Amino acid sequence: MYSKKQGAYGKIKTHKEPLSKQLSHIDEVFSAVTFLYIKPLKSNLDTPFIRETFDPDDLAFCDEILVKVSRSFAAVIRQLPSTMLVDILIFYLVLRALDTIEDDTTSFPSQEVKIKHLLNFHKTALADPTWTMDGVGEADEKLLLQKFDKCHRVFAKLSDKSRRVIIDITQRMATGMAEFVGKDLGQGTTDVDQYNRYCHFVAGLVGEGLSRLFVASGLEKASFASELFLSDQMGLFLQKTNIIRDYLEDYVDNRAFWPQTIWKKYSKTGELGYFTQQSDPEVHMRSLECLNELVTDALELAPDCLLYLSKLRCTEIFRFCAIPQVMAIATLNYCYSNSNVFTGVVKIRKGTSCKLILRTNNLDEVHDTFYQFAEGVMKKADVNRAKGVVDPSYGRTIKICETVMEITSDGHKRERKARQLPLVASLLVPVAGIAASILFNVGISKEMPKLRQNFVLLGISAYALTPYLFRTNSSGLIDSKLLESKGKN
């Protein structure tokens, strides 16, 4: 599944930037404030259609548990059109419940029992309205299984089409998970094929299910249901990013996914734990080479993800799909050549996340983001090279960065132009203010320095807010409301 269990968090160190450094990114501070107070993602949960269709208590449970197990996902799900929001919410919770069974390594008496629960899940959880499970998973995930009957009642009210998609994907994911239960993953997956296969089961299938649910809602073209390859790549991009970032956490949990055919080239001891010994300069160098090969492998999925996103037409669905993708490329750029991956939990700054969410409204904005992070990786690769580091993946890394930058350069140029507007506005406000104060002789009073200060503050605000005030819709995307009314005519 896209988002990780909480397992090893707490056991290992979290690499976090000090607040002073977080606050030094002034545009991110403004983005965070804007996101929290001015323009949060709108929630469509409280709409007449949803109120009339579902039991309010059951739905409230589903919504609350979603926020608890995945706050970031809850926000992107809630902004979806009300006609499909609950379908996607339940799809996520069903898979999360299945994932809780998969991740629990201590509660089942044997692997056979766990496999049986996985393989029967679509016949138990999704067929029996009274089904619940106790004592599996931890905290909120445990609660999700304990009160699964509430999810079932909401699930039962979904359309036939949506239920069929959810059952089909759940069954296939469970089969894939069961295949991996018996495998010893203490040293990762055996090769890239197995790595891809695991990612396909736990994430690629989610992509397929989502595409089919988009079609079932009528908001995306019917042809989307057959974009199986691209849907799969979307999931793989997210899953591989998580697997790369979660190296240490997964290693500590004795359930790792880095493919041996890649990492054994760099581990002198033939052990996956070799990379944790960062105080040794040779380990340090080799671990970064290994990490960079994996980041490059993941980046190679980006062109297909961008192609998938370019085919979407509904604004809200676009945002739902694109936000996790921009977070992923930001994370890959952050992980590239970053040895913190081997010594703790790495996470992009909260401010960066807010900024990315606010700047993921159309394809140009997404292209601009992908361009900047691909460029970021390329610059780091070149800085390393200039320092004399010979990274075996260097050529491959540069090639994929160039490809991504080529695909996204038009959008990047248009967005860069659009960003100059707030800059001009922010300069004009204080300049005009100070000029006016001089002209009208306000300067004689004692208030002058304070007045100037205020104009500078106004200027900064203008810089931060102009993009949101002057947003034009030339994106080619259509809001769900318009698509729905078109469908009726």
- Dihedral, CA atoms, 7, 9, 10, 12, nearest 10 degrees? 120
Nearer to Ca ion, 121 or 371 (CB): 121
Query: How many residues sit in the footprint of Ca ion (CB under 5 A)?
Result: 3
| Options 97-105, 409-417, 450-458, 476-484: segment touching Ca ion (CB under 5 A) | 97-105
- Let me know if 198 is a catalytic residue: yes
Least distance in angstroms from the C-beta of 100 to Ca ion:
8
Q: Judged by CB under 5 A, does residue 415 bind Ca ion?
A: no
SS3 93: helix
CB 87 within 8 A of CB 16: no
Q: Tokens for 66, please give them.
A: 């979603």
- Let me know if 245 is a catalytic residue: yes
Of 245, 286, 319, 359, the catalytic one is 245
Nearer to Ca ion, 103 or 365 (CB): 103
Q: Longest Cα pair distance anywhere in the chain, in angstroms?
A: 85
Q: Judged by CB under 5 A, does residue 102 bind Ca ion?
A: yes
SS3 15: strand
Per-residue binder mask for Ca ion (CB under 5 A), 161-200, x = binder: ----------------------------------------
| Options 98-106, 131-139, 374-382, 424-432: segment touching Ca ion (CB under 5 A) | 98-106
Of 2, 92, 180, 198, the catalytic one is 198
Q: Tokens for 195, please give them.
A: 């790595």
Nearer to Ca ion, 1 or 374 (CB): 1
| Residue from the set 28, 58, 87, 99 that interacts with Ca ion by CB under 5 A | 99
Q: How far is residue 26's CA from residue 8's CA, in Å, rounded to a whole number?
A: 33
| Options 101-109, 140-148, 242-250, 357-365: segment touching Ca ion (CB under 5 A) | 101-109
Instruction: Compute φ and ψ for 15, nearest 5 degrees.
Output: -80, 115
Least distance in angstroms from the C-beta of 1 to Ca ion:
6
What lies within 8 Å, CB to CB, of 393 at 6+ separation is 289, 292, 293, 296
DSSP codes joined into one string, 402-447: HHHHHHHHHHHHHHHHHHHHHHHHHHHHHHHHHHHHHHTTGGGSTT
Q: Tokens for 202, please give them.
A: 């736990």
| Residue from the set 87, 103, 227, 232 that interacts with Ca ion by CB under 5 A | 103
SS3 329: helix
Nearer to Ca ion, 137 or 467 (CB): 137
Nearer to Ca ion, 7 or 303 (CB): 7
SS3 81: coil
CB 363 within 8 A of CB 307: no
Of 2, 73, 92, 320, the catalytic one is 320
Pick from 174, 155, 164: which is nearest to 87 by CA?
Answer: 155
Least distance in angstroms from the C-beta of 103 to Ca ion:
4
| Options 92-100, 136-144, 223-231, 348-356: segment touching Ca ion (CB under 5 A) | 92-100
| Options 93-101, 119-127, 268-276, 427-435: segment touching Ca ion (CB under 5 A) | 93-101
CB 236 within 8 A of CB 200: yes
| Options 103-111, 135-143, 218-226, 355-363: segment touching Ca ion (CB under 5 A) | 103-111
Nearer to Ca ion, 58 or 246 (CB): 246
- Let me know if 255 is a catalytic residue: yes
Instruction: Compute φ and ψ for 401, nearest 5 degrees.
Output: -60, -45
CB 68 within 8 A of CB 140: yes
Q: How far is CA 302 from the centre of its chain?
A: 13
Least distance in angstroms from the C-beta of 255 to Ca ion:
8
Q: Judged by CB under 5 A, does residue 87 bind Ca ion?
A: no
What is each CA distance from 430 to 148, 295, 436, 442, 446, in whole angstroms? 58, 44, 10, 15, 18
Least distance in angstroms from the C-beta of 11 to Ca ion:
17
CB 393 within 8 A of CB 289: yes
The size of the chain, in residues, is 489
Least distance in angstroms from the C-beta of 98 to Ca ion:
9
The residues annotated with a catalytic role in the active site are 198, 245, 255, 320
Residues that bind Ca ion (CB under 5 A): 99, 102-103
